[in-house]
């Protein structure tokens, strides 16, 4: 695994934005970068974004699908539904 210090990872996160972009730079997987962040106790750059989350919730209430919202906001489908679930707005499957 690439040797990335905590301070370097924080700088890279600000510059490149995503674990995937950092991984490409060091030729490692997104998951490896995620594990490094967890090891160092660094939150994701997407972890606390209330403005974006409010937009997702509002669009979902108006009928947008979770898949469409994930694509629009460049998130995974699971992350999009996690945001909706935390907000208590996720539709229950029957």
pLDDT digits (tens, 9 = 90+) for 54-83: 999 999 999 999 999 999 988 888 889 988
In a domain? residue 34: yes
Q: Tell whether 61 is covered by a domain.
A: yes
Taking the alpha carbons of 52, 58, 79, 27 in that order, is the dihedral positive or negative? negative
Looking at residue 72, its pLDDT comes to 93
Structural domains of the chain, count? 2
Residue 61: domain span: 50-87
Q: What is the pLDDT of residue 62?
A: 96
Q: Look at residue 94 in the predicted model and tell me its pLDDT.
A: 43
Question: Between residues 1 and 34, which one has the greater pLDDT?
Answer: 34
Q: Are residues 36 and 54 in the same domain?
A: no
Residue 54 lies in a domain: yes
State the average pLDDT for the chain: 85
2: left (phi over 0), alpha (psi -120 to 50) or beta: beta
Q: Which of 32-36, 38-42, 52-56, 85-89 has the lowest mean pLDDT?
A: 85-89
């Amino acid at each position: 695994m690439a040797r990335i210090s905590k301070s370097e990872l924080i700088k890279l996160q600000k510059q490149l934005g995503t674990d995937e972009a950092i991984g490409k730079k060091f030729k490692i997987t997104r998951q490896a970068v995620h594990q490094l962040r967890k090891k160092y106790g660094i939150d994701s750059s997407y972890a606390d974004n209330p403005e974006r989350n409010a937009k997702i919730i509002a669009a979902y209430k108006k009928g947008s699908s979770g898949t469409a919202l994930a694509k629009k906001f460049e998130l995974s489908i699971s992350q999009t539904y996690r945001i909706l679930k935390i907000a208590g707005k996720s539709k229950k499957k029957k």
